[in-house]
Amino acid sequence: PRHLLDFQDWAPERLSALLDGADTMLNVLSRPVKKVPALQGLTVCTAFFENSTRTKVSFELAARRMSADVVSFAAGASSVSKGESLRDTVETLTAYQMDAYIVRHSASGAAHLVARYSGKPVINAGDGRRAHPTQALLDAYTIRQEYGDLKGKKVAIIGDVLHSRVARSNAELLPKLGAEVTLCGPATLLPLELGQMPGVTLITDPREAVRGAHAVMALRLQQERMQGGYLASMQDYVNTYQVNEALLAEAEDGAIVLHPGPMNRDLEISGDVADGERSRILKQVSNGQAVRMSVLYHLLVGRD
Protein backbone atom coordinates (compact mmCIF):
# COMPACT_ATOMS: atom_id res chain seq x y z
CA PRO A 1 0.00 0.00 0.00
CA ARG A 2 1.00 3.58 -0.64
CA HIS A 3 -0.53 4.77 2.63
CA LEU A 4 -0.37 3.60 6.22
CA LEU A 5 -3.85 4.43 7.50
CA ASP A 6 -4.45 1.17 9.40
CA PHE A 7 -3.33 -2.44 8.85
CA GLN A 8 -6.29 -3.64 6.74
CA ASP A 9 -4.38 -4.17 3.49
CA TRP A 10 -1.04 -5.07 5.04
CA ALA A 11 0.17 -8.66 4.75
CA PRO A 12 2.21 -10.07 7.68
CA GLU A 13 5.34 -10.37 5.48
CA ARG A 14 5.23 -6.69 4.63
CA LEU A 15 4.69 -5.76 8.27
CA SER A 16 7.69 -7.89 9.26
CA ALA A 17 9.71 -6.12 6.57
CA LEU A 18 8.85 -2.77 8.23
CA LEU A 19 10.17 -4.11 11.55
CA ASP A 20 13.30 -5.51 9.87
CA GLY A 21 13.83 -2.07 8.34
CA ALA A 22 13.74 -0.56 11.83
CA ASP A 23 16.74 -2.77 12.75
CA THR A 24 18.68 -1.12 9.91
CA MET A 25 17.55 2.33 11.04
CA LEU A 26 18.66 1.65 14.63
CA ASN A 27 22.13 0.95 13.19
CA VAL A 28 22.05 4.32 11.43
CA LEU A 29 21.00 5.99 14.69
CA SER A 30 23.91 4.39 16.58
CA ARG A 31 26.48 6.08 14.35
CA PRO A 32 28.18 9.39 15.26
CA VAL A 33 26.64 10.97 12.11
CA LYS A 34 22.97 9.96 12.16
CA LYS A 35 22.05 11.05 8.65
CA VAL A 36 21.54 9.22 5.34
CA PRO A 37 20.50 10.65 1.97
CA ALA A 38 17.56 8.24 1.40
CA LEU A 39 14.82 10.91 1.14
CA GLN A 40 16.91 13.78 -0.24
CA GLY A 41 14.81 16.08 -2.44
CA LEU A 42 11.48 14.98 -0.90
CA THR A 43 9.26 17.17 1.30
CA VAL A 44 7.33 15.62 4.18
CA CYS A 45 4.52 17.56 5.89
CA THR A 46 3.61 16.77 9.49
CA ALA A 47 0.00 17.97 9.65
CA PHE A 48 -1.07 17.89 13.30
CA PHE A 49 -4.63 18.96 14.12
CA GLU A 50 -4.29 17.52 17.64
CA ASN A 51 -1.39 17.86 20.09
CA SER A 52 1.50 15.43 20.28
CA THR A 53 4.97 15.14 21.78
CA ARG A 54 6.34 11.70 20.81
CA THR A 55 4.74 11.13 17.43
CA LYS A 56 5.44 14.60 16.01
CA VAL A 57 9.01 14.91 17.28
CA SER A 58 9.97 11.39 16.19
CA PHE A 59 8.45 11.70 12.71
CA GLU A 60 10.18 15.04 12.13
CA LEU A 61 13.49 13.63 13.33
CA ALA A 62 12.97 10.48 11.25
CA ALA A 63 12.39 12.50 8.07
CA ARG A 64 15.35 14.82 8.77
CA ARG A 65 17.67 11.91 9.58
CA MET A 66 16.92 10.69 6.02
CA SER A 67 17.56 14.16 4.54
CA ALA A 68 13.94 15.06 3.67
CA ASP A 69 12.72 18.64 3.99
CA VAL A 70 10.07 18.89 6.71
CA VAL A 71 7.11 21.27 6.88
CA SER A 72 5.70 21.29 10.39
CA PHE A 73 2.04 22.31 10.20
CA ALA A 74 0.30 22.93 13.53
CA ALA A 75 -3.42 23.55 13.09
CA GLY A 76 -3.67 25.72 16.22
CA ALA A 77 -1.30 28.28 14.71
CA SER A 78 -2.87 28.16 11.23
CA SER A 79 -5.90 29.42 9.30
CA VAL A 80 -7.82 26.40 10.59
CA SER A 81 -8.50 28.73 13.56
CA LYS A 82 -10.34 31.03 11.08
CA GLY A 83 -12.57 28.16 10.00
CA GLU A 84 -10.67 26.82 6.97
CA SER A 85 -11.81 23.27 6.24
CA LEU A 86 -9.60 20.18 6.28
CA ARG A 87 -10.08 19.77 2.54
CA ASP A 88 -9.07 23.38 1.73
CA THR A 89 -6.13 23.16 4.12
CA VAL A 90 -4.85 19.98 2.47
CA GLU A 91 -5.34 21.31 -1.06
CA THR A 92 -3.47 24.49 -0.07
CA LEU A 93 -0.52 22.56 1.37
CA THR A 94 -0.46 20.24 -1.66
CA ALA A 95 -0.08 23.28 -3.94
CA TYR A 96 3.36 23.72 -2.30
CA GLN A 97 4.34 20.27 -3.64
CA MET A 98 4.45 18.12 -0.55
CA ASP A 99 5.50 14.54 -1.23
CA ALA A 100 3.87 12.92 1.81
CA TYR A 101 1.68 13.74 4.81
CA ILE A 102 1.79 12.58 8.40
CA VAL A 103 -1.60 13.34 9.88
CA ARG A 104 -3.00 13.51 13.39
CA HIS A 105 -6.62 14.52 13.88
CA SER A 106 -9.33 14.09 16.52
CA ALA A 107 -11.81 12.82 13.88
CA SER A 108 -11.73 9.11 13.02
CA GLY A 109 -11.14 8.82 9.27
CA ALA A 110 -9.44 12.23 8.85
CA ALA A 111 -6.25 10.63 7.48
CA HIS A 112 -8.34 8.92 4.75
CA LEU A 113 -9.72 12.34 3.81
CA VAL A 114 -6.19 13.77 3.52
CA ALA A 115 -5.22 10.84 1.29
CA ARG A 116 -8.21 11.57 -0.96
CA TYR A 117 -7.62 15.32 -1.32
CA SER A 118 -3.82 15.31 -1.47
CA GLY A 119 -3.25 12.34 -3.79
CA LYS A 120 0.00 11.78 -1.85
CA PRO A 121 1.15 9.02 0.50
CA VAL A 122 -0.38 9.52 3.96
CA ILE A 123 0.72 8.07 7.29
CA ASN A 124 -1.92 8.12 9.99
CA ALA A 125 -0.36 9.51 13.18
CA GLY A 126 -3.58 8.94 15.16
CA ASP A 127 -7.17 9.62 14.09
CA GLY A 128 -9.82 9.85 16.82
CA ARG A 129 -10.42 6.46 18.41
CA ARG A 130 -9.75 4.64 15.17
CA ALA A 131 -6.06 3.89 14.55
CA HIS A 132 -2.48 4.80 15.47
CA PRO A 133 -0.54 2.32 13.33
CA THR A 134 3.02 3.55 13.90
CA GLN A 135 2.48 3.37 17.68
CA ALA A 136 1.42 -0.28 17.32
CA LEU A 137 4.44 -0.94 15.10
CA LEU A 138 6.84 0.48 17.67
CA ASP A 139 5.08 -1.52 20.40
CA ALA A 140 5.45 -4.70 18.31
CA TYR A 141 9.07 -3.82 17.58
CA THR A 142 9.83 -3.33 21.29
CA ILE A 143 8.31 -6.73 22.15
CA ARG A 144 10.16 -8.40 19.26
CA GLN A 145 13.41 -6.82 20.40
CA GLU A 146 12.91 -8.46 23.80
CA TYR A 147 11.85 -11.94 22.68
CA GLY A 148 13.20 -12.22 19.11
CA ASP A 149 9.76 -13.10 17.72
CA LEU A 150 6.12 -12.24 18.34
CA LYS A 151 4.79 -15.71 17.55
CA GLY A 152 3.02 -17.22 20.58
CA LYS A 153 3.61 -14.15 22.75
CA LYS A 154 0.80 -12.98 25.03
CA VAL A 155 0.18 -9.27 25.32
CA ALA A 156 -2.21 -7.86 27.94
CA ILE A 157 -3.48 -4.32 27.28
CA ILE A 158 -5.13 -2.80 30.34
CA GLY A 159 -7.08 0.39 30.84
CA ASP A 160 -9.26 2.77 28.84
CA VAL A 161 -9.67 0.56 25.77
CA LEU A 162 -12.85 2.38 24.70
CA HIS A 163 -11.12 5.65 23.81
CA SER A 164 -7.84 4.11 22.66
CA ARG A 165 -6.69 4.09 19.03
CA VAL A 166 -3.49 2.45 20.34
CA ALA A 167 -5.47 -0.55 21.62
CA ARG A 168 -7.35 -0.87 18.30
CA SER A 169 -4.17 -0.74 16.21
CA ASN A 170 -2.40 -3.25 18.45
CA ALA A 171 -5.44 -5.54 18.33
CA GLU A 172 -5.19 -5.39 14.52
CA LEU A 173 -1.40 -5.72 14.23
CA LEU A 174 -0.18 -8.12 16.92
CA PRO A 175 -2.32 -11.15 15.87
CA LYS A 176 -1.14 -10.66 12.25
CA LEU A 177 2.38 -11.16 13.62
CA GLY A 178 1.39 -14.26 15.61
CA ALA A 179 0.79 -12.78 19.09
CA GLU A 180 -2.32 -13.12 21.25
CA VAL A 181 -3.94 -9.96 22.61
CA THR A 182 -6.04 -9.64 25.76
CA LEU A 183 -7.85 -6.34 26.18
CA CYS A 184 -8.82 -5.61 29.78
CA GLY A 185 -10.69 -2.86 31.60
CA PRO A 186 -13.94 -2.14 33.40
CA ALA A 187 -16.98 -3.12 31.28
CA THR A 188 -17.73 0.58 30.65
CA LEU A 189 -14.34 0.98 28.91
CA LEU A 190 -14.29 -2.33 27.00
CA PRO A 191 -16.17 -2.19 23.66
CA LEU A 192 -17.64 -5.64 22.90
CA GLU A 193 -17.04 -5.44 19.13
CA LEU A 194 -13.26 -5.65 19.64
CA GLY A 195 -13.79 -9.21 20.93
CA GLN A 196 -14.77 -10.21 17.36
CA MET A 197 -11.27 -9.53 16.05
CA PRO A 198 -9.12 -12.63 15.38
CA GLY A 199 -6.59 -13.32 18.14
CA VAL A 200 -8.25 -10.87 20.56
CA THR A 201 -9.92 -11.69 23.91
CA LEU A 202 -11.80 -9.30 26.19
CA ILE A 203 -11.53 -9.75 29.97
CA THR A 204 -12.66 -7.53 32.85
CA ASP A 205 -10.47 -9.30 35.46
CA PRO A 206 -6.92 -7.83 35.30
CA ARG A 207 -5.33 -10.77 37.18
CA GLU A 208 -6.68 -13.18 34.61
CA ALA A 209 -5.57 -10.82 31.81
CA VAL A 210 -1.92 -10.67 32.89
CA ARG A 211 -1.61 -14.39 33.78
CA GLY A 212 1.12 -15.80 31.51
CA ALA A 213 1.57 -12.44 29.70
CA HIS A 214 4.97 -11.66 28.15
CA ALA A 215 4.15 -7.96 27.86
CA VAL A 216 1.70 -5.82 29.84
CA MET A 217 0.67 -2.48 28.38
CA ALA A 218 -1.08 0.15 30.48
CA LEU A 219 -3.31 2.62 28.63
CA ARG A 220 -3.89 6.23 29.63
CA LEU A 221 -7.24 6.95 31.25
CA GLN A 222 -8.55 9.61 28.84
CA GLN A 223 -10.37 11.55 31.54
CA GLU A 224 -11.02 14.45 29.19
CA ARG A 225 -13.42 12.13 27.31
CA MET A 226 -15.19 10.76 30.40
CA GLN A 227 -18.14 12.86 31.43
CA GLY A 228 -19.35 10.78 34.38
CA GLY A 229 -20.57 7.22 34.60
CA TYR A 230 -17.49 5.42 33.29
CA LEU A 231 -15.86 4.68 36.64
CA ALA A 232 -17.29 3.98 40.11
CA SER A 233 -14.45 6.20 41.37
CA MET A 234 -10.84 6.88 40.49
CA GLN A 235 -9.73 5.09 43.67
CA ASP A 236 -11.80 2.06 42.69
CA TYR A 237 -10.08 2.01 39.27
CA VAL A 238 -6.62 2.32 40.84
CA ASN A 239 -7.37 -0.47 43.33
CA THR A 240 -8.46 -2.88 40.59
CA TYR A 241 -6.75 -1.98 37.30
CA GLN A 242 -3.54 -0.08 38.08
CA VAL A 243 -0.49 -1.83 36.57
CA ASN A 244 1.66 -2.20 39.68
CA GLU A 245 3.99 -4.76 41.28
CA ALA A 246 1.10 -6.66 42.89
CA LEU A 247 -0.65 -7.15 39.54
CA LEU A 248 2.60 -8.01 37.73
CA ALA A 249 3.23 -10.85 40.19
CA GLU A 250 0.64 -12.76 38.09
CA ALA A 251 2.54 -12.22 34.80
CA GLU A 252 5.52 -14.18 33.39
CA ASP A 253 8.72 -13.65 35.43
CA GLY A 254 10.43 -11.66 32.68
CA ALA A 255 7.31 -9.83 31.48
CA ILE A 256 8.00 -6.33 30.22
CA VAL A 257 5.82 -3.27 30.79
CA LEU A 258 4.80 -0.84 28.07
CA HIS A 259 2.85 2.43 27.98
CA PRO A 260 2.30 4.47 24.80
CA GLY A 261 2.45 7.75 26.74
CA PRO A 262 1.59 10.27 27.90
CA MET A 263 1.26 8.63 31.34
CA ASN A 264 -0.91 9.48 34.31
CA ARG A 265 1.66 8.35 36.87
CA ASP A 266 0.18 6.51 39.85
CA LEU A 267 -3.17 6.27 38.13
CA GLU A 268 -3.15 3.62 35.35
CA ILE A 269 0.49 2.70 36.18
CA SER A 270 2.41 2.99 39.45
CA GLY A 271 5.46 5.24 39.40
CA ASP A 272 7.76 2.46 40.61
CA VAL A 273 6.71 0.16 37.75
CA ALA A 274 7.02 2.97 35.19
CA ASP A 275 10.60 3.56 36.35
CA GLY A 276 11.39 -0.05 37.24
CA GLU A 277 13.35 -2.90 35.68
CA ARG A 278 10.46 -4.27 33.65
CA SER A 279 9.65 -0.92 32.07
CA ARG A 280 10.43 -0.48 28.37
CA ILE A 281 8.60 2.85 28.13
CA LEU A 282 11.60 4.97 27.13
CA LYS A 283 12.77 2.14 24.85
CA GLN A 284 9.40 2.46 23.07
CA VAL A 285 10.07 6.17 22.62
CA SER A 286 13.54 5.68 21.12
CA ASN A 287 12.39 2.74 18.97
CA GLY A 288 9.66 5.01 17.61
CA GLN A 289 12.21 7.05 15.71
CA ALA A 290 13.71 3.98 13.97
CA VAL A 291 10.31 2.46 13.21
CA ARG A 292 9.07 5.73 11.69
CA MET A 293 12.24 6.01 9.58
CA SER A 294 11.50 2.52 8.27
CA VAL A 295 7.86 3.39 7.50
CA LEU A 296 8.84 6.58 5.65
CA TYR A 297 11.49 4.71 3.69
CA HIS A 298 9.16 1.89 2.67
CA LEU A 299 6.33 4.19 1.60
CA LEU A 300 8.38 6.87 -0.15
CA VAL A 301 11.31 4.95 -1.61
CA GLY A 302 9.50 1.62 -1.87
CA ARG A 303 12.40 -0.80 -1.55
CA ASP A 304 12.48 -3.52 1.12
- 54 labelled binding-site residue: yes
Q: How far is CA 27 from the centre of its chain?
A: 22
Q: How far is the CB of 82 from ligand CP (least distance, A)?
A: 25
Q: Is 166 helix (H, G, I), strand (E, B) or coil?
A: helix
Applying CB under 6 A, the span of 233-241, 245-253, 259-267, 293-301 interacting with ligand CP comes to 259-267
Query: Which residue in 135, 142, 164, 182 binds ligand CP (CB under 6 A)?
Result: 135
Q: How far is the CB of 277 from ligand CP (least distance, A)?
A: 22
Q: How far is the CB of 151 from ligand CP (least distance, A)?
A: 25
Residue 33 phi, psi (nearest 5): -105, 110
Query: Which residue in 27, 53, 79, 239 binds ligand CP (CB under 6 A)?
Result: 53
Which positions from 100 to 129 touch ligand CP by CB under 6 A, shown as an x/- string?
--------------------------x---
Closest Cα to residue 294, out of 21, 56, 5?
21
Q: Which residues contact 232 (CB under 8 A, 6 or more apart)?
A: none
Query: Which residue in 55, 142, 244, 287 binds ligand CP (CB under 6 A)?
Result: 55
In order, the DSSP letters of 205-223 are -HHHHHTT-SEEEE----G
Does 244 bind ligand CP (CB under 6 A)? Our answer is: no
- 14 labelled binding-site residue: no
Q: Which residues contact 249 (CB under 8 A, 6 or more apart)?
A: none
Q: How far is the CB of 70 from ligand CP (least distance, A)?
A: 16
CB closer to ligand CP, 52 vs 240: 52
Q: How far is the CB of 125 from ligand CP (least distance, A)?
A: 7
- 104 labelled binding-site residue: yes
Q: How far is the CB of 23 from ligand CP (least distance, A)?
A: 22
Longest dimension (CA), the chain: 56
Does 169 bind ligand CP (CB under 6 A)? Our answer is: no
Q: Which residues contact 179 (CB under 8 A, 6 or more apart)?
A: 140, 143, 150, 151, 152, 153, 154, 155, 199
Distance CA(48)–CA(127), nearest Å, equals 10
Q: Is the peptide bond before 191 cis (omega within 30 degrees of 0)?
A: no
Distance CA(131)–CA(143), nearest Å, equals 19
Does 261 bind ligand CP (CB under 6 A)? Our answer is: yes
- 220 labelled binding-site residue: yes
Q: How far is the CB of 48 from ligand CP (least distance, A)?
A: 9
Instruction: Tell me which DSSP letter residue 80 carries.
Output: G
Does 159 bind ligand CP (CB under 6 A)? Our answer is: no
Does 260 bind ligand CP (CB under 6 A)? Our answer is: yes
Query: Which residue in 3, 54, 154, 214 binds ligand CP (CB under 6 A)?
Result: 54
Distance CA(101)–CA(103), nearest Å, equals 6
In order, the DSSP letters of 126-137 are EETTTB-HHHHH
Amino acid sitting at position 169: S
CB closer to ligand CP, 38 vs 162: 162
Residues in binding site for L-aspartate: 82, 165, 220
Contact residues for ligand CP, defined by CB under 6 A: 52-55, 126, 135, 260-262
Residues in binding site: 54-55, 82, 104, 132, 135, 165, 220, 261-262
